[in-house]
């Protein structure tokens, strides 16, 4: 036997770092932050150990804790003081995300990205204006075009409050174009849009719905979010968002959709983001609690695999822990 090819030669401790193809760093990571207008103290999120909803008064402290780990970017989600049919607190000048954004951007150097959607603000929990009788008829859900105006208003109000980037997550057709138009109309031509371009209707979002109090009161989101069975459709969705001016393309969730991350990476030159969602976080925590997996190892291996698949940025609930360990 003549083994001239021995890949093991490059696996000794000295050479491994030299030939490593993928590296994680704190600058790849975005930490989600939940700001809650209904509480004046921090509320732990049971299904997402280590995470909590914070009152507006503590938003700056929360962001500073994150920055101490080396993570400089945060994604803000809001829980409003009240909800209504159209989600009107989502674009209020004194809304929870607007107020938190104003404080964080004036008091810290964090890079603030805001979630732009209606589901946390509507009393029915859907991501837009409902069709009449939607509660009775599961075939009816949100009115696409009427929702676009509201998304534009939300994004504009976030930018006016100082948001560095906006991230529409509702999978409403035309959302990126409507938001670009609304931002440009108020002179915010420099505020980029990170589009949740390929967002699947996934059961891995479960714990987040506890965190953001955004579970739909009836029905589900399969009429606007993507079917987990579809890959070609993701390219179509991304094409449309690119045409409408998306600056960063997101795939969500991450781990069950690494093929999509890779596909988008290879087909487009835009930065690709992946959202390592609450269920991906919760399942590793649950297994670690049982002593079945080593949390730090599986968390960093998961994030490494997302990066290796082609993501430039990763939104993850592991951001702080991982950055701390780097
Ligand atoms: Zn939504």
What is the pLDDT at residue 228?
A: 97
Round the average pLDDT of the chain to a whole number and report it.
Answer: 94
Domain range for 168 is 24-325
> What is the structure's pLDDT at 214?
67
| Element (DSSP H or E) covering residue 33 | strand 29-36
pLDDT value of position 207: 83
In the predicted structure, residue 262 carries a pLDDT above the cut 90: yes
Secondary structure E strands in 126-283: 165-168, 194-199, 248-252, 272-276
pLDDT tens sequence across 70-84: 999 999 999 999 999
205's CB contacts (< 8 A; 6+ apart) are 253, 277, 278, 279
Check the annotation: does 237 bind a ligand: yes
* Count: domains in the chain: 1
pLDDT at position 208 over 90: no
Does the residue 276 lie in any domain? yes
CATH number where 206 lies? 3.20.20.70
Whether 237 is in a domain gets the answer yes
| CA of residue 305 to ligand 1 center, whole Å | 27
Question: Which band of pLDDT confidence, cut at 50, 70 and 90, is reported for residue 20?
Answer: very high
Q: Could you tell me if residue 5 is inside a domain? A: no
Domain-located, residue 258:
yes
CA of 296 to the centre of ligand 1 (A): 30
Ligand 1: centre distance to CA 170 (Å): 4
208, containing H or E segment: helix 206-212
Q: What residues are neighbours of ligand 1 (ion), with CB under 5 Å?
A: 117, 119, 127, 170
pLDDT(210) > 90: no
Q: Name residue, tokens 């507006």.
A: 56
CA 73, CA 63: separation in Å to the nearest integer? 9
Range 216-220, long-range pairs (CB < 8 A, 24+ positions):
216/119, 216/124, 216/125, 216/126, 217/123, 217/124, 217/125, 217/135, 218/124, 218/134, 218/135, 218/138, 219/126, 219/134, 219/138, 219/141
- Give the dihedral sign, CA 21/24/25/29: positive
Exposed, middle or buried: residue 9 (CB in 10 Å: 0-12, 13-18, 19+)?
A: exposed
Distance CA 113, CA 294 (A): 31
The whole-angstrom separation of Cα 156 and Cα 162 is 10
In the predicted model, is pLDDT for residue 139 greater than 70? no
Q: Do residues 168 and 181 touch, judged by C-beta distance below 8 A?
A: no
Say yes or no to pLDDT of 140 above 70: no
pLDDT above 90: residue 24: yes
pLDDT in tens, 213-236: 667 777 778 888 999 999 999 999
Single out the catalytic residue among 252, 262, 290, 307: 252
Q: How confident is the model at residue 8 (pLDDT cuts 50, 70, 90)?
A: very high
Tokens in use for 249? Answer: 């393309």
Catalytic residue list contains 252: yes
Structure tokens at 82: 């009240």
Q: What is the pLDDT of residue 209?
A: 74
pLDDT at residue number 142:
86
pLDDT tens string 103-135: 999 999 999 999 999 999 999 889 998 887 777
Give the pTM. 0.94
First CA to last CA across the chain, in angstroms?
42
User: Buried b / exposed e across 216-226, counting CB within 10 Å, b at 16+?
Assistant: eeebebebbbb
Is residue 253 reached through a cis peptide bond, with omega within 30 degrees of 0 on the bond before it?
Answer: yes
- Distance of CA 225 from the midpoint of ligand 1 (Å): 9
Question: Would residue 13 count as lying in a domain?
Answer: no
| Residue 204, both tokens | 């891995």
Q: In the predicted model, is pLDDT for residue 298 greater than 80?
A: yes
Residue from 173, 227, 230 nearest 197 by CA: 173
């Amino acid at each position: 036997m003549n083994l001239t090819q021995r890949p093991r030669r490059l696996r000794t401790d000295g050479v491994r770092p030299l030939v490593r193809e993928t590296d994680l760093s704190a600058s790849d990571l975005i930490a989600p932050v939940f700001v809650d207008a209904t509480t004046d103290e921090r509320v732990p999120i049971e299904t997402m150990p280590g995470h909590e909803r914070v009152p507006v008064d503590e938003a700056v402290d929360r962001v500073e804790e994150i920055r101490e780990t080396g993570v400089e970017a945060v994604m803000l989600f809001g829980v409003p003081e009240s909800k209504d049919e159209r989600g009107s607190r989502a674009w209020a000048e004194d809304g929870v995300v607007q107020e938190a954004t104003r404080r964080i951007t004036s008091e810290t150097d964090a890079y603030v990205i805001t979630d732009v959607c209606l589901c946390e603000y509507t009393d029915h929990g859907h991501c837009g204006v409902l069709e009449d009788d939607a509660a009775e008829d599961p075939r009816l859900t949100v009115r696409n075009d009427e929702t676009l105006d509201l998304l534009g208003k939300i994004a504009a109000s976030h930018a006016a409050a100082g948001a560095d980037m906006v991230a529409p997550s509702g999978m409403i057709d035309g959302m990126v174009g409507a938001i670009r138009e609304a931002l440009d109309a108020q002179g915010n031509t420099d505020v980029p849009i990170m589009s949740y371009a390929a967002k699947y209707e996934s059961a891995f979002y479960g714990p987040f719905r506890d965190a953001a109090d955004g579970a739909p009161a009836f029905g589900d989101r399969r009429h606007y979010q993507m079917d987990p069975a579809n890959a070609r459709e993701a390219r179509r969705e991304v094409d449309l968002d690119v045409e409408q001016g998306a600056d960063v393309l997101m795939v969500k969730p991450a781990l069950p959709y690494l093929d999509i991350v890779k596909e988008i990476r290879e087909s487009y030159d835009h930065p690709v983001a992946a959202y390592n969602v609450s269920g991906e976080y919760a399942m590793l925590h649950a297994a670690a609690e049982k002593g079945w997996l080593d949390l730090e190892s599986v968390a960093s291996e998961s994030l490494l695999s997302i990066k290796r698949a082609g993501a430039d940025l990763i939104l993850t609930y592991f951001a702080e822990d991982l950055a701390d360990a780097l």
